Amino acid sequence: MTKERILLLVLASALFSHIMDFMIMMPLGPQLMRLFDITPQQFSFLVSSYTFAAGGSGFLAAFIIDRFDRKVFLIFVYTGFAIGTLACAFAPTYEVLLITRSIAGAFGGVLGALILSIVSDAIPLERRAAGIGFVMASFSVASVFGVPFGLYLATLFSWHAPFLFLGSFSVLVTGFILYYVPRMSEHLEGEHSKQNPLEIIRKVLGKRNPLMGLLFTSILMLGHFTVIPFIAPYMVGNVGFTEQELTYIYLVGGGLTIFSSPMVGRFADKNGRLKTFTIFGILVLIPVLIITHLNPVPLWQALIVTGIFFIMANGRMVPSTTMVTSVIKPENRGSFMSLRSSVQQISSGVAALLAGALITETPSTVTEGAKALIGYENVGYVAVFFSIIALFVARQLKAEKGA
């Protein structure tokens, strides 16, 4: 195995823990809403607290991230993430969980940006989409193994168990980071290590191309994350899934994207990132509308729809991420990617709150003891609206020379 592949594997493992930590909250939604006796709006706060904290820390990190060796900063951020996740495992109440989720999110948000910066610095642009596709396959692994295993632990023990597992796993990954991730300080050479915050703002936010990258990220998240948080509660309360059957959504969808994600990366490198994003950006609209209008159907039919959604949604994320990494020069990539993560997380939080505001609940007629969601179809229309706008904004992005 080459050093490059080992590096990608370690980074994918770190990103896996962050993604599973974030994703596990959503399928736990029906259980948490029942145990804590909270409304959809209160549950959306649990989801958005993570993203808003990540957005705030990402903004602050943008001013310092490029002043440090990538490895040193990764160790610091990942250690904080592990501590925050372990704290979630021992949260006794809704309010404490809200706080500990914010702590985990504050470090987790920076973690995602930092990993993408390391991949972008280590791999040339002509092979970068494949590298990002490999690392982003951690989303799929989190879906195939992480979420079902986490739900199994929650069913076997309690909702605290998945976070205890994740915290322990993160400690193990920290050891691999120490041993296998090389020091990366090329971006510190010359004058780039002495940039003050005003210079960073000027270089990152003072140009049209990076600004369009941030706008593109925000709109894309509004078109993606409005639907995501309430898929699990909707499938239970409206379609007729049991809480145990929710694992099949992530098992099937994640299993499909394990294969599709690297393929999409190679396709984007060969045929163009904008073309690939456009294809998947249009196709994803179909399962979005079907999911948000789905009535009680057999399990296998619902899994076909959600599986297609996973493939198409992931298919637009790989090329879009690669496109955004190329709008800035390497010496400012860490700062830009941190700002981009901040915008991404805050937009995701806004999307979750917007979806929560559009949804009300009523006793379910298909699943005993569950709540049916009313207004989810309107969430689908909002997602489609922003997804279409993202297709047009994507055409305004231009790659920087040497990026």
Buried b (16+ CB within 10 A) or exposed e, 323-352: bbbbbbbbbbbbbbbbbbbbbbbbbbbbbb
Rounded Cα distance, 381 and 322, in Å: 27
Q: What is the pLDDT of residue 119?
A: 80
Q: Is the pTM of this model over 0.85?
A: no
DSSP single-letter state for residue 361: E
**Token code pair at residue 203:** 């270089």
Q: What is the pLDDT of residue 259?
A: 80
Rounded Cα distance, 181 and 173, in Å: 11
Rounded Cα distance, 246 and 294, in Å: 15
Question: Other CB atoms closer than 10 Å to residue 49's CB: what's the count?
Answer: 22
Tell me the residue ranges of DSSP E strands in 134-175: none
Q: What is the pLDDT of residue 284?
A: 95
Give me the residues of the chain with pLDDT under 50, please. 192, 402-403
Element (H, E) at 353: helix 333-358
Q: What is the pLDDT of residue 80?
A: 92
Buried b (16+ CB within 10 A) or exposed e, 146-183: bbbbbbebbeeeebbbbbbbbbebbeebbeebeeebee
